[in-house]
Amino acid sequence: MSIDIDVKQATKTIVLNAADLAFKHVSLKGVAKAPVVIFDTQQETATLTFASPVSAGKHVLSIDYTGKINQHAAGLFALDYDTAAGSKRALFTQFENSDARRFVPSWDQPDPKATFSLTATVPADLMPLSNMPIAKTVKLSKGMQRVSFAETPKMSSYLLFFGLGDFERITNEVNGVEVGVVVKRGDTDKAKYALDAASHILPFYEDYFGVKYPLPKLDLIAGPGQSQFFGAMENWGAIFYFERDLLIDPRISTQDDQRQVYEVIAHEMAHQWFGDLVTMDWWDGIWLNEGFASWMEVKATDHFHPEWKVWLEALNSKEAAMRVDARAGTHPIITPIRDVLQADQAFDTITYEKGESVIRMLEVYVGADAFRDGVRTYIKAHTYGNTVTDDLWRELDKTAPMPVTQVAHEFTLQAGIPLIRVGATATGIHLTQDRFAVDDSAKAGGTWHVPVTVSSVGGTVLWQGLVSADKPADVAVSAGTVAVINAGQAGYFRTLYDAASLAKVAGNFQVLQPADQIGILNDSRALGYAGYEPLSDFLALTKRVTPDMPPHVIEDVTGRLDQLNFLYEGLPGQAAFQAYARSVLDPVLAKLGWEAVPGEDQNSAVLRTTVILVLGNLNDPAVIAEARKRFATYVKDPTSLTPDLRRDVLRIVAEYADAATWDQIHTLAKDAKSNLEKRELYVLLGTTLDKDLAAKALDLSLTDEMPVTSRPGMPSAVSAHHTDMAVDFVAAHADFFDSLLEPDNRAGYLPRIASQSRDLGTLQKIDDYAAKRIPEDARGVVVRAESTIRENAGVRSARLPDVDAWLAAQPH
């Protein structure tokens, strides 16, 4: 490789990034003597020291080097897969955040942008891919060819891509751009859904961002494998996806899979502008990339599929963010990042889901048109450049009808969740601001200017404004009107009603807007876990749920009941809880039925799969028996189940499997032809309630029988019911699992598995492991896992007794 460099000031040393590379020859054009090269494996740098100073001005630095092909998705890596003609290998690259240095010596950080010209010598019968189209091909002897890709636009090193394999590609011409989906040979029928989605989304983004997609082609590339860490990567013009996130297999993909795939496509394509064309200066700005793309994926999906009501689904993302943000170990959205290890940790729930939620809140606060106009001027002003977050706020301040920066700073530069307390007054309600947390992190306090919307139950806006600790608000509410706080639920905060106000809202639960029904359920659940109000208040709300409520609301309740069941596992009160939860969900299943009803909306279809699965978790005898019956038929005739039911039936049967059934699923996994299916079936083996079978499943992950990239998924699957067993297993085979994981993912792997625990005894195991194997700079993940376990254990000991008492008091 050679790099055009511009030396600003005469120097004897040049330092660049390189990791796992061996340099054979280094030269600077016009300098006779080769420099001395010293590698720093910690810093992942190579220092070139020249005998005499290199003069200021333009130079060409050339390095002849070799590198490695990894088995995990970092740098250049291989994915092996089975075909009728035997095992095949495909190559891909994965560089974000800092692994381009494993492929090419470079200044491997976001801000020094460069153009890249890639040439590869490859077997002529394979398809090479990069960010740009092939500009030139030269036939060589022995079935080889040399391909040169067109020069890329100016971009960051982490966006460079190379892929090679026995691929097929289907394409569409969209606004002068060739949109392609690339799959391994034989899979083009699974690619059509993605090609269609991408072809719609491209012009939508060109309009929203106000800038044409700048490359001549855009490929969406499917890799046969998986990572514990990511599903897709937005390489400019050559987006990489693991198959599960791109392909729709009509035999096994569910209707929910279609939505997930649509959203991931929309997410990565949003990055083509937000991230690729305009890039953060440094990794502390990664939230702007990820929060923005996560928000935009919902916006684009909602545009093309309004019937899915994905904004209601997005309330789940906010809930996920708030769970992390309410505990020790949370951090501000924008947090200082010293080095690569810390950057690895920044790809978390706060960055993605809180980022998404805060952007949603700001969009609603300033208005969708003003927000879009600000984004357009921001993109135009920084095309091919690097930015800091304040560059966006500055543009929004110009286009929005009110100042944005202060509110934006308070939600991005400080951690935590505002709590809006609602008190009844003689003339209406009084709103004050506090901080919500499940532990001592609440004591840190915090002031936010919180955008609050108050509506009537019918949806009429009564008041909008900012509420802060130093500026509470009084809202006039006429007698007979019930005030709903955070109406529409775009606000990133929790609402704590006083008992009288809550009773009024709960009394009108059935007639609230669906978003507010979900919001009140979620707040009530969270306030109950944290002890702000009795957890039984949440249970009382679930009693008001009826089968004819909107599917997303029932979906939300179903998820929360499932979560409580998880916390109840092994406690004496679990059976009574399960009986109650079944009494809420059985009528829903009775209404939906097991079979799809012709013409039903897709939300009901997705809800059916959730309700059946959760009833399975709740030990519903009828559901388990039905699943077993259908499984027996399925084994003889795989076409007997729709993909939606197939997924549920397999999961329920696997969870309650005896040894013979487990062996049956094992055989299905061994015989599975498609990589997607194989991966799914193996992981199911780990979800069993049976301890001995779970141990057998763990042992499988050490064998060559499982696809390499699926093996780390097994302890994760086992951890749901046997957390300590999974933790002990990973600790005992730590070197083995590390060898399968991307370096970025090693520190977080065991803590994430351990965070399923509901037992304080697991804390010591994490500490022991961390002391031996997790570098100091990467221990944020340990703090977060431990605060999750403390919350789980705390709810079990301090809150569930209140639920037990409430259940006992219910009429039978």
What residues are annotated to the active site?
A: 268
For Zn ion, the closer of residues 290 and 626 by Cβ is 290
For Zn ion, the closer of residues 275 and 514 by Cβ is 275
Binding mask 670-699 for Zn ion (x = CB under 5 A): ------------------------------
For Zn ion, the closer of residues 352 and 493 by Cβ is 352
**Minimum distance between the CB of residue 491 and Zn ion, rounded to whole angstroms?**
24
**Which position among 14, 293, 462, 477 is part of the footprint of Zn ion (CB under 5 A)?**
293
* Residue whose token pair is 């923005």: 292
DSSP letters, 48-75, are EEEEEEEPSEEEEEEEEEE---BSSSSE
**Interacting span for Zn ion (CB under 5 A) from 248-256, 289-297, 435-443, 479-487:** 289-297
**Minimum distance between the CB of residue 346 and Zn ion, rounded to whole angstroms?**
12
Strand order in the sheet with 36-40: 11-17, 45-54, 36-40
For Zn ion, the closer of residues 293 and 727 by Cβ is 293
For Zn ion, the closer of residues 165 and 291 by Cβ is 291
* Residue whose token pair is 């100073």: 53
**Interacting span for Zn ion (CB under 5 A) from 288-296, 416-424, 710-718, 758-766:** 288-296
Q: Is 672 exposed, middle or buried (0-12, 13-18, 19+ CB in 10 A)?
A: middle
Binding mask 231-270 for Zn ion (x = CB under 5 A): ----------------------------------------
Q: Inter-axis angle of helices 310-325 and 355-366, to 10 degrees?
A: 120
Token pair belonging to 255: 């209707």
Q: How far apart are CA 256 and CA 783, in angstroms?
A: 33
**Interacting span for Zn ion (CB under 5 A) from 119-127, 282-290, 305-313, 778-786:** 282-290
Helix-strand-coil percent breakdown of the chain, rounded to 5?
50, 20, 30
**Interacting span for Zn ion (CB under 5 A) from 153-161, 292-300, 383-391, 627-635:** 292-300
Nearest residue (beta carbon) to Zn ion: 293
For Zn ion, the closer of residues 293 and 310 by Cβ is 293
**Minimum distance between the CB of residue 394 and Zn ion, rounded to whole angstroms?**
24
For Zn ion, the closer of residues 349 and 602 by Cβ is 349
- With a CB cutoff of 8 Å and minimum separation 6, the contacts of 53 are 10, 11, 12
For Zn ion, the closer of residues 324 and 535 by Cβ is 324
Max distance between CA atoms of the chain, in angstroms, equals: 92
Count, residues in the chain: 812
Number of residues this chain uses to bind Zn ion (CB under 5 A):
2
Q: Inter-axis angle of helices 535-542 and 499-507, to 10 degrees?
A: 10
Residues 737-756 that bind Zn ion (CB under 5 A): none
**Minimum distance between the CB of residue 500 and Zn ion, rounded to whole angstroms?**
44
Q: Is 617 exposed, middle or buried (0-12, 13-18, 19+ CB in 10 A)?
A: buried
For Zn ion, the closer of residues 269 and 293 by Cβ is 293
**Interacting span for Zn ion (CB under 5 A) from 283-291, 322-330, 439-447, 504-512:** 283-291
Q: How far apart are CA 582 and CA 289, in angstroms?
A: 42
Phi, psi of 545 (to 5 degrees): -80, 130
**Minimum distance between the CB of residue 291 and Zn ion, rounded to whole angstroms?**
9
CB-based contact 456:484 (threshold 8 Å): yes
Token pair belonging to 789: 């376990």
- With a CB cutoff of 8 Å and minimum separation 6, the contacts of 667 are none
**Minimum distance between the CB of residue 234 and Zn ion, rounded to whole angstroms?**
6
Query: Cβ of 339: how many Cβ atoms within 10 Å?
Result: 15
Q: Inter-axis angle of helices 255-271 and 286-304, to 10 degrees?
A: 130
**Minimum distance between the CB of residue 267 and Zn ion, rounded to whole angstroms?**
6
**Minimum distance between the CB of residue 96 and Zn ion, rounded to whole angstroms?**
9
**Minimum distance between the CB of residue 230 and Zn ion, rounded to whole angstroms?**
8
Handedness of CA 271, 237, 250, 716 (dihedral sign): negative
Give residues in contact with Zn ion (CB under 5 A): 290, 293
